[in-house]
A = this chain, B = another copy of it.
Amino acid sequence: MAGRKQFDVDTALDGAMHVFWEHGYAEASLSRLLAATGLGRGSLYSTFGGKDELLERSVRRYAERFAAPMSAALRSQPDDPAAAVRAFFDTVLTRLADPDVPAGCLITRLAAETADLADPLREVVAESLAGQRAEIRAALRAAEGPLPAERLDDLALYAAAVNQSLTVLHLAGTPVTELRTVADLAHEHIAAALHTPGRAE
């Protein structure tokens, strides 16, 4: 039971990520983390350092596995911003409907806990949110001619906000069918705004 590492670091990280995802920081107790990772206390502390560092790495892993597809969706339609936004919402909704994964979104869960988070963790969360907003903004770039840049900034923030609403409501138990309605409306509105001074749909 010793000598060389008996577990896969990424697998363990996935377990920890799920715990933080479902329970946030405060309710993610060591015992829950140990159970989910399958590690002993010694192994967890020697490979990750502690609860805070484990959360930091969990967020990074979350970004690789779940934020990456969202970024990809945003970049999938470089010259049709409205379609990119739709692809983005579709990716989010697909994940929310996935029964193999906790409800909501890890970042949203942590964002709600901001007031109680240590500074480095707070920053990681803030960066995640800012990054997503920037990626949405980038996906709207094709509309920059007809629309003023400020308007696109606003619309990007708007889409990011709607995304947050989807995940909080999902945490609170709202069925995905209703969330799809919200996303559809948001898309409908953003698409209209994007086409306002240009050609029609």
Contact = CB atoms under 8 A, between A and B. Distances in A.
A108 B112 contact: yes
A161 B108 CA distance: 14
**Interface residue tally on A, bucketed by range:** 35 or more
Chain A binding surface SS class: helix
Contacts of A114: 171-173
A149 B58 CA distance: 44
Interface in A158-201: 158, 161-162, 164-166, 168-169, 171-173, 178, 181-182, 185-186, 189, 192-193
Interface stretch (A3-11, A23-31, A48-56, A64-72): A23-31
A178 B157 contact: yes
Contacts of A154: 181, 185
Contact of A104 (B112, B158, B162, B171): B112
Given A27-B116, A157-B182, A185-B158, A168 B165 contact: yes
Interface of A: 22-24, 26-27, 102-104, 108-109, 111-116, 125-126, 129, 154-155, 157-158, 161-162, 164-166, 168-169, 171-173, 178, 181-182, 185-186, 189, 192-193
